[in-house]
A and B are shown apart, each in its own frame.
Chain A
Amino acid sequence: NAGVTQTPKFQVLKTGQSMTLQCAQDMNHEYMSWYRQDPGMGLRLIHYSVGAGITDQGEVPNGYNVSRSTTEDFPLRLLSAAPSQTSVYFCASSRDLFSGGATDTQYFGPGTRLTVL
């Protein structure tokens, strides 16, 4: 099992450019999510998905789009990059949606470090 993989590891964009951050998991997990991590802010939820074809907004969704066409993949699209989107982005997956059981373990990918100039 590769677990959760993310590409690219690093990216530099100019303001206004668009791009897609890729996330894939091979654990057949239903629940996937995207977080951004900024100094002193912890991890903030951008978007999440409870299964293929189902997505919902998290705490900071503006400027980002997601789709979930397969169980394995959950790409994050930046529509028009802004300097405020400079951050480290983590994708995560878990089997269940934090219902209190052993299958709630959330696995994180290695992250994408994005800089917007």
Chain B
Amino acid sequence: GQQVMQIPQYQHVQEGEDFTTYCNSSTTLSNIQWYKQRPGGHPVFLIQLVKSGEVKKQKRLTFQFGEAKKNSSLHITATQTTDVGTYFCAGVILTGGGNKLTFGTGTQLKVEL
């Protein structure tokens, strides 16, 4: 079953407000990736976090990997209409058969003017 959960499922914000999506795994992750999918488009890779407690920034986006490597978050400061889309986390889980990438359920962000 689904091992990587994301909350919230939907988020509506006014332009300029901040936005955060949270990703939680039932098992320890090796790495975690984040993707953005615009409406009608395909997922686009944003970033990968590898180290426990790691924090990375891309302009207004801040990505964080938890100390226990079981959770992660994406925070967008001062949202813009160009941020509209669905944000997915994807956890890498080490298994006997090799590394496997499991996607979260996604958070759909809508930004209103």
Q: Which residues of A contact B (CB under 8 A)?
A: 33, 35, 40-45, 50, 56, 58-59, 90, 92, 97-100, 104-111
Contact = CB atoms under 8 A, between A and B. Distances in A.
A106 B104 contact: no
Given A44-B103, A110-B42, 11 more contacts: A40-B105, A42-B105, A56-B97, A90-B42, A92-B43, A97-B98, A98-B33, A99-B99, A105-B45, A108-B44, A109-B42
Interface string B88-109: 1010100001111111111000
B43 A108 contact: yes
A107 B45 contact: yes
A104 B103 contact: no
Contacts of A106: 33, 45, 101
Contacts, number: 59
Contacts of B2: 42
Contact of B30 (A98, A109, A110): A98
Interface residues of B, number: 26
Contacts of B50: 100
- The 9 lowest CB-CB distance pairs between A and B, nearest first, are A98-B92, A43-B103, A108-B42, A42-B103, A42-B105, A100-B50, A98-B99, A108-B43, A105-B45
Given A50-B98, A106-B101, A100 B30 contact: yes
Contacts of A104: 31, 33, 48
Contacts of B27: none
A68 B92 CA distance: 23
A90 B90 CA distance: 15
